[in-house]
């Protein structure tokens, strides 16, 4: 199988380049991560992140033939050769396929991704009705792989200021949570021409999400809540 891999080793002083690799491998039933690990077995200088190898940890997001995907759940058989593998776009590259996730995490932290509830702790759990719990479906499943945010042109242009689809989806996850008491403060935190309204509904994020989530819809709901409390 033919691959074209993005290679960058900052200590070498060389510019990033694309490396052509031929690998003798039967693609049947195998994922892209299997191939990358086989290549790494031949050339241990190839650097990439991975952990769970089953689409749960979100660490092996990369740009494959122009689309952001998780290597571990991307079947080799559905990829056109040469398979071009690059690091996620829009984030600084540390080496090869490893990017600096800090700008992404910084935006994630900015939405306070934890439950805010100052009521005295109940003796049992803070209970939710099945209906309230259902509001979190489609939001809590995010694995923070950054496939969506790094596919979003608005994030490319303003990574410092725009929260990005992953952060906004998580912001909505806590706004929608019946146990959270900080809804107004959360909306205040987002109501901003840059933090929220840089989203132009391009929907690259929906196309990219390997978990089938829909950040654009969550962003639309945040906007409706903001409109409702204003008009």
Question: Footprint of other proteins on this chain (CB under 8 A)?
Answer: 109-110, 153-154, 157-158, 161, 188-198, 200, 223, 226-227, 230-231
Residue 161 site contact among ligand SF4, other proteins, ligand FES, none (CB < 5 to 8 Å, cut-off depends on kind) = other proteins
**CB under 8 Å to 148, separation ≥6 — which residues?**
68, 164, 165, 166, 169, 204, 205, 206, 208, 209, 213, 215
Q: Which is nearer to ligand FES, 58 or 159 (CB)?
A: 58
CB of 166 to ligand FES, least distance (A): 14
227 binds, among ligand SF4, ligand FES, other proteins, none (CB under 5 to 8 A by kind): other proteins
61: Cβ contacts below 8 Å, ≥ 6 apart: 68, 69, 70, 71, 88, 145, 146, 147, 150, 210
Would you say the C-alpha torsion 186, 192, 194, 198 has a positive or negative sign? positive
Nearer to ligand SF4, 82 or 113 (CB): 113
CA distance 55 to 69: 10
- Could you tell which of other proteins, ligand SF4, ligand FES, none binds residue 223, using a CB distance below 5 to 8 A set by kind? other proteins
Instruction: Work out the angle at residue 177's Cα, subtended by the Cα atoms of residues 199 and 149, and round it to the nearest 5 degrees.
Output: 30
Which residues fall within 8 angstroms of residue 193, CB to CB, at 6 or more apart? Answer: none
Determine which helix (DSSP H) or strand (DSSP E) holds 205, and give its type and residue range.
helix 204-208
Interface with ligand SF4 (CB under 6 A), residue from 165, 174, 175, 195 = 165
Q: If binding is defined by CB under 6 A, does position 136 make contact with ligand SF4?
A: no
* Residue 165 binds which entry of ligand FES, other proteins, ligand SF4, none, CB below 5-8 Å type-dependent: ligand SF4
Residue numbers at the binding site for ligand SF4 (CB under 6 A)? 142-148, 152, 154, 165-166, 169, 199-205, 208-209, 211, 213, 215-216, 219
């Amino acid at each position: 199988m033919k691959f074209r891999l993005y290679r960058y080793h900052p200590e070498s002083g060389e510019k990033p380049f694309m490396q052509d690799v031929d690998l003798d491998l039967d693609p049947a039933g195998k994922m892209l991560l299997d191939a990358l690990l086989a290549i790494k077995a031949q050339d241990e200088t190839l650097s990439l992140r991975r952990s769970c190898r089953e689409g749960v940890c979100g660490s092996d997001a990369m740009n494959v033939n122009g689309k952001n995907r998780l290597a571990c759940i991307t079947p080799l058989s559905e990829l056109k050769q040469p398979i071009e593998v690059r690091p996620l776009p829009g984030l600084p590259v540390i080496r090869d396929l490893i990017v600096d996730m800090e700008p992404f995490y910084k935006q994630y932290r900015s939405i306070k991704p934890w439950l805010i509830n100052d009521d005295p702790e109940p003796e049992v759990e803070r209970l939710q009705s099945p209906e309230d719990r259902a509001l979190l479906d489609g939001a809590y499943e995010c694995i923070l792989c950054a496939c969506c945010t790094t596919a979003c042109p608005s994030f490319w242009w303003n990574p410092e200021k725009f929260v990005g689809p992953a952060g906004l989806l998580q912001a909505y996850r806590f706004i929608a949570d019946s146990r959270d008491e900080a809804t107004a403060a959360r909306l205040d935190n987002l109501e901003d021409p840059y933090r929220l309204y840089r989203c132009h509904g391009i929907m690259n994020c929906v196309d990219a999400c390997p978990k089938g989530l829909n950040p654009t819809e969550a962003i639309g709901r945040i906007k409706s809540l903001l409109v409702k409390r204003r008009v």
